């Protein structure tokens, strides 16, 4: 949680400075690219982020599992990057300049694999119950991103995206160093088919579930850029960034719940982590509703006028989602993946369809779609638990 709060806290300062140093169009295009990177991260991870947490604690073949995961996801991220560039006019036509030069192509094809390894190293530290290194890695990454952002405003879009890859690259190098020295893990590119056979059912099910549940929110910046404008994506992105402070609480506590549930032979009740989450969430949500407009004014008057109502709606949707996080995580611990996939297909399809139709009312419509989706998800999880 502390590591994620550092990322979100420094992220607030990061985007605050970006709003002062870069235009809304540049921010909107950069936010669209970062959303593409997050989608590729989700697709090319193949479910290994959760699988590493679930299986490393009791594994006698930690090197093999980690190296197999790294090799598979790096190949996947590279292939996804190539496919994205080949079809960029279809996916995000306003980012077609990314394939306009060899340096830009190389940059993109390096960004995606490095970004995905950064996610995997966090899972490894969490699985080993040593999440303080996630905190250190995230802190280092955040500070470096901030410094580079300040130094490169003349580069516009590339200043924002470049600050991300520099920060992530240094964080990955640091994490790999400590994983090697703390746990004697030797990094050798290879795919162990025995390991894949052991985890393929859980990994594939979790992969499908993760894509279905995570894809809609990642598609929204692309949807807004294509359907409305890059400027509206910027006005959407800032409230989302602020509300990410709320999402950290249930996301990280449920992640630790998954780790402890993987170590324990007995099922761990969700009551205590749920109460703990809401004890932080409720006052934080009230604070965002009361002071959210003033926070957005720090980015600029237009950000406040265009984004405050959406901030209120998305904050309320996150508050509803807390129970959903823990009910879904319990299904992961119980390895009831098919049920989780069914639930995610239903709710994610609803979210995308509702967002598409309600986007005619601007980003406020997307906020209402988020609340409706979380209520539907809660109802379905309670029925099918």
**Buried b / exposed e across 229-249, counting CB within 10 Å, b at 16+?**
ebbbbbbbbbbbbbbbbbbbb
- Mean pLDDT for 81-100 is 88
Convert the pLDDT of each residue in 7-31 to its tens digit: 667 777 888 888 889 988 898 888 8
| Low-confidence winner among 50-59, 143-152, 179-188, 353-362 (lowest mean pLDDT) | 50-59
Average pLDDT score over the chain? 84
Which tokens go with 371?
Answer: 């609340």
pLDDT of residue 100: 81
pTM of model > 0.75: no
In this model, does residue 224 exceed pLDDT 80? yes
pLDDT of residue 338: 78
d(CA 195, CA 166) in angstroms, rounded, equals 33
Q: What's the angle, vertex CA 151, arms to CA 146 and CA 157, rounded to 5?
A: 85
Convert the pLDDT of each residue in 156-202 to its tens digit: 999 999 999 999 999 999 999 999 888 888 888 888 777 777 667 66
pLDDT of residue 220: 83
Q: What is the DSSP string of 299-356?
A: T-HHHHHHHHHHHHHHHHHHHHHHHHHHHHHHHHHTT-HHHHHHHHHHHHHHHHHHHH
Percent of the chain scoring above 70 in pLDDT: 93
- Mean pLDDT for 125-131 is 81
pLDDT of residue 238: 83
Convert the pLDDT of each residue in 130-154 to its tens digit: 778 888 888 888 889 999 999 999 9
d(CA 75, CA 223) in angstroms, rounded, equals 27
Confidence category of residue 225, pLDDT binned at 50, 70, 90:
confident
d(CA 53, CA 35) in angstroms, rounded, equals 24
pLDDT of residue 369: 93
| Low-confidence winner among 23-32, 261-270, 320-329 (lowest mean pLDDT) | 261-270
In this model, does residue 262 exceed pLDDT 70? no
pLDDT of residue 3: 65
* Residue scoring higher pLDDT (370 or 193): 370
In this model, does residue 268 exceed pLDDT 70? no
pLDDT of residue 264: 63
């Amino acid at each position: 949680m502390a590591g994620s709060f550092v990322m979100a806290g420094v992220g607030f300062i990061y985007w605050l400075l970006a709003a002062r140093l870069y235009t809304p169009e540049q921010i909107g295009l950069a936010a669209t690219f970062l959303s593409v990177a997050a989608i590729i991260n989700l697709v090319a991870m193949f479910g290994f982020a959760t699988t590493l947490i679930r299986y490393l604690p009791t594994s006698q073949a930690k090197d093999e599992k980690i190296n197999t995961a790294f090799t598979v996801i790096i190949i996947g991220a590279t292939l996804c990057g190539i496919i994205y560039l080949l079809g960029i006019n279809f996916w995000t036509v306003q980012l077609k300049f990314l394939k306009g030069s060899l340096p830009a192509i190389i940059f993109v094809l390096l960004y995606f694999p490095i970004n995905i390894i950064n996610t995997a190293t966090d899972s490894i530290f969490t699985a080993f119950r040593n999440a303080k290194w996630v905190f250190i890695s995230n802190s280092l990454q955040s500070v470096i991103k901030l410094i580079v952002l300040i130094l490169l405003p003349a580069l516009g879009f590339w200043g924002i995206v470049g600050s991300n890859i520099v920060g992530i690259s240094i964080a990955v190098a640091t994490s790999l160093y400590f994983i090697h020295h703390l746990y004697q893990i030797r990094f050798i590119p290879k795919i162990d088919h025995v390991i894949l056979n052991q985890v393929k059912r859980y990994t594939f099910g979790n992969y499908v579930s993760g894509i279905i549940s995570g894809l809609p929110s990642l598609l929204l910046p692309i949807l807004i850029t294509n359907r409305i404008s890059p400027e509206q994506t910027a006005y959407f992105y800032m409230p989302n960034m602020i509300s990410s402070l709320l999402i950290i609480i249930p996301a990280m506590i449920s992640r630790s719940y998954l780790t402890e549930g993987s170590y324990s032979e007995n099922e761990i009740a969700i009551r205590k982590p749920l109460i703990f989450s809401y004890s932080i969430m409720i006052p934080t949500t009230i604070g965002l509703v009361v002071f959210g407009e003033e926070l957005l004014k720090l980015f600029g008057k237009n950000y406040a006028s265009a984004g405050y109502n959406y901030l209120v709606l998305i904050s309320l949707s996150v508050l509803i989602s807390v129970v959903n996080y823990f009910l879904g995580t319990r299904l992961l611990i119980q390895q009831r993946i098919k049920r989780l996939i069914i639930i995610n297909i239903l709710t994610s399809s609803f979210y995308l369809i509702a967002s598409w139709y309600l986007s005619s009312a601007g980003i406020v419509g997307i906020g209402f779609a988020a609340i409706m989706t979380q209520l539907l998800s809660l109802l379905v999880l309670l029925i099918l638990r």
